[in-house]
Amino acid sequence: MATAATASATAATRFTLLAGAGLRSRISRRPTAVRFQRQRGLTTTALLKTADLLPKAQGQPETLDYRVFLVDGGGRKVSPWHDVPLRAGDGVFHFVVEIPKESSAKMEVATDEAFTPIKQDTKKGNLRYYPYNINWNYGLLPQTWEDPTSANSDVEGAFGDNDPVDVVEIGERRANIGDVLKVKPLAALAMIDEGELDWKIVAISLDDPKASLVNDVDDVEKHFPGTLTAIRDWFRDYKIPDGKPANRFGLGNKPASKEYALKVIEETNESWEKLVKRNIPAGELSLA
């Protein structure tokens, strides 16, 4: 029969052993919404509830310090680029709003800052604005990346622009900076910006009244006549007032089908996975 001293020593030894591996194991299992285990950068989003995500602003709008973070239900910061899951169901994807429709401040995910918040872009220390309002909600597909080391044989051998894939959401509702919406892709435009490939996925939010009517590129022209041409022309011309040349478009200067858009999404998601696994050098990009 163990003495009190022996039992105490045994308990102390057991605690010492658990203080390392066991305690760390308990910590790693603690639910943290999305600050999960990483395999040298690879993330899993099994614990993230996108319905609980909220934008949280820091600083004053239209200042250099202004940032919009995403926070989970526990108030913890998450990355709109890395932590929000790409897929939201069969043929449905998450879309993070950077620029609400009918606004002109050039907001974008800060890909080189921790938690990749949304901020206003700058040039030579000055805040950037589009020369006129953008007419659609604009933002990114999380967990995608346009690889600047990979040439696209379909689009003049252009290399990726080192950013997440852009989305132009054509629904009627004006979203807010940092909103996470469920969208279905309808078409893709292969914009070439100063030699770099900058995909524009045309999509519609599932909560839009016309969402059930549009399922491919031809439906957009039927139910939103002139919209695809307007999107192409807007992105083609927006730099001209600053004295820069017009952007160009590959794929015959025409929007590609939904099937092609899904191909773009799949390929850029694979590129993102390689990035966060460190199979491709991240450079100044933040993977946190």
The mean pLDDT values, 10 residues at a time, for the chain of 288 residues are: 43 41 35 35 58 96 98 96 96 98 98 98 97 98 98 98 98 98 98 97 98 98 98 98 96 98 98 97 95
% the chain with pLDDT above 90: 82
Q: How far is CA 209 from CA 104, 170, 206, 213, in A?
A: 25, 11, 8, 9
Determine which helix (DSSP H) or strand (DSSP E) holds 141, and give its type and residue range: strand 137-141
The residues annotated as belonging to the active site are 130
Of 269, 142, 263, 137, nearest to 202 by C-alpha is 137
Q: What is the pLDDT of residue 283?
A: 96
Residue 23 lies in a domain: no
Q: What is the pLDDT of residue 45?
A: 53
Stated pTM of the model: 0.84
Q: Which two tokens stand for residue 87?
A: 């897929």
Residue 5 lies in a domain: no
Counting runs of H as helices and runs of E as strands, what totals does the chain give? 5, 18
- For residue 275, what are the contacts with CB-CB under 8 A and spacing of at least 6? 41, 145, 147, 282, 285, 287
Q: What is the pLDDT of residue 47?
A: 63
Q: What is the pLDDT of residue 48?
A: 83
Q: Total structural domains in the chain?
A: 1
State the CATH number of the domain containing residue 112. 3.90.80.10
Residue 195 lies in a domain: yes
Q: What is the pLDDT of residue 17?
A: 39
Residue 32 lies in a domain: no
Neighbour-count burial of 94, counting CB atoms closer than 10 A to its CB (0-12 exposed, 13-18 middle, 19+ buried): buried
Residue 17 lies in a domain: no
Residue 155 lies in a domain: yes
Residue 83 lies in a domain: yes
Backbone angles phi, psi at 19, to 5 degrees: -60, -25
Residue 33 lies in a domain: no
For 137, the domain range is: 50-277
